[in-house]
Amino acid sequence: MDKPIALIVEDDRDIVALFRHVLDIAGYQTEIVLDGRDAMDRLGILTPNIVLLDLQLPRLSGVQILKNMRDDERLKRIPVVVITAYAPIADSLPVEPTCSCSSRWTSTN
């Protein structure tokens, strides 16, 4: 049986290593993209089961990637875990009302 695919969109390689390790243990095949434009290119040909998305990326912001995903019929129902150290950006994101995974957790550290 094929493993589910997790797309990690993050420019910090240490964070990528951590998420990749956890997702590998959880049984995911991971794909890694280090900037926003490359993420959109990859999403043009890949339909992952989940996306871990940094909001502050080079070349195209994670906010714009999330907007593009939600506007795309093929991608709009993919769960997205938002990764950011800047809580006000995360707090301003729209929560998809049709998604059963619409809760947020924000670290105050």
Q: Is the confidence at residue 102, as pLDDT, over 50?
A: no
The total number of residues shown for the chain amounts to 109
Question: Alpha helix (H) ranges present in 28-103?
Answer: 36-43, 62-71, 87-91
**Which of 32, 41, 40 has the alpha carbon at shortest distance from 14?**
32
CA distance 95 to 22: 25
CA distance 11 to 65: 14
What confidence category does residue 86 fall into, taking pLDDT thresholds of 50, 70 and 90? confident
Let me know: does 20 contact 10? Beta carbons within 8 Å: no
Q: What is the pLDDT of residue 60?
A: 95
Higher pLDDT, 91 or 62: 62
Domain spans, the chain: 5-91
Least confident of 30-34, 64-68, 96-100: 96-100
The model's pTM is 0.82
- Give me the chain's average pLDDT, please: 86
* CATH architecture under which domain 5-91 falls: 3-Layer(aba) Sandwich (3.40)
